[in-house]
Structure 1
Amino acid sequence: MFKTKLFEQWYDREMLPTCAVCQQSFEPEPGFYYGAMFVSYAFSVAITFVVGFVLFNFFNDPELWVYMITLLGVVGLVWPLMYRYSRAIFLHIFGGIRFDSKYAKE
């Protein structure tokens, strides 16, 4: 889906125009991936709840600045993952992609 692997370049946002195997277009319409920001937002909320729960329950309710620094650090570290997975999830849910078994072995 993307031109480079996740860890080859820190943050490469360029996507291939089509799938190399089945020729499925990765951008069904202009501006399609604006909706992927909602999937990314859901990831961020989930991370916030998990990290906040761990900090609150295991470290005796630290100060507000500890929460903020920790959450910003964790979300900043997983941001490239969230970017790529939110686009992939959004494409598969709303892009009209259906599984075709003839491409399964390629």
Structure 2
Amino acid sequence: MSKKSAIGAILGAKCPQCRTGRLFPVSPFSFKKISAINSTCPHCQANLNPEPDFYYGAMYISYAFSVALVITALTAINILIEEPELWMYLSTVLVGNLLLFPAMLRYSKVLYLYGLGKLKYRGD
């Protein structure tokens, strides 16, 4: 078998060990279990919860995503609009955070698992 790309597995939210099984039990557009993650990989049975409360550290990555979104939105408004008003900044940041919240939450958990989960790729 060919080696699967780590970037493709991260973008697809796949298991770090087999890069095939899904990390999340529901689609990204489902708000029922927005923060739920599978306890084991459905493909290779790898433990996706290495320790209790493991994913609390992912909030730092989510915070970084949020700060990057705020900086990008404020810079774009300053470049595109000559004299922006306060409500423009606030509404843009609020709407951007609301729309991107599910993606930021999911990918913060994916990056945290890939970075600190101690699961190495096994190209079985």
Report the TM-score when normalising by structure 2. 0.77
Amino acid at match of 1:71: V
1:44 aligns with 2:49: no
**Residues 11 and 38 (structure 1), Cα distance of their counterparts in 2 relative to 1, 3 Å cut:** farther
State the 1:10 CA deviation. Answer: 2.8
Residue pair 1:55, 1:61 contacting (<8 A) in 2 also: no
Question: Where in structure 2 are there 5+ consecutive unaligned residues?
Answer: 1-22
Q: Whose helix proportion is higher, 1 or 2? A: 1
Report the 3-state secondary structure (helix = DSSP H, G, I; strand = E; otherwise coil) of the residue aligned with 1:101.
Answer: coil
Amino acid at match of 1:33: Y
State the 1:14 CA deviation. Answer: 2.1
Q: What's 1:92 paired with?
A: 114
Amino acid at match of 1:37: M
**More contact order relative to length (CA 8 Å, sep ≥ 6):** 2
Q: What is the Cα-based RMSD across aligned positions, in Å?
A: 1.1
State the 1:24 CA deviation. Answer: 1.3
Matched pairs, number: 101
Q: What's 2:94 paired with?
A: 72
Report the 3-state secondary structure (helix = DSSP H, G, I; strand = E; otherwise coil) of the residue aligned with 1:18.
Answer: coil
1:33 aligns with 2:33: no
What is the percent sequence identity of the aligned residues? 37
Amino acid at match of 1:10: F
CA distance in 2, matches of 1:101, 1:52: 43
Q: What's 1:58 paired with?
A: 80
Question: Where in structure 1 are there 5+ consecutive unaligned residues?
Answer: none
Q: What's 2:43 paired with?
A: 21
**Residues 40 and 20 (structure 1), Cα distance of their counterparts in 2 relative to 1, 3 Å cut:** same
CA distance in 1, matches of 2:95, 2:105: 16
CA distance in 1, matches of 2:38, 2:123: 22
Report the TM-score when normalising by structure 1. 0.89
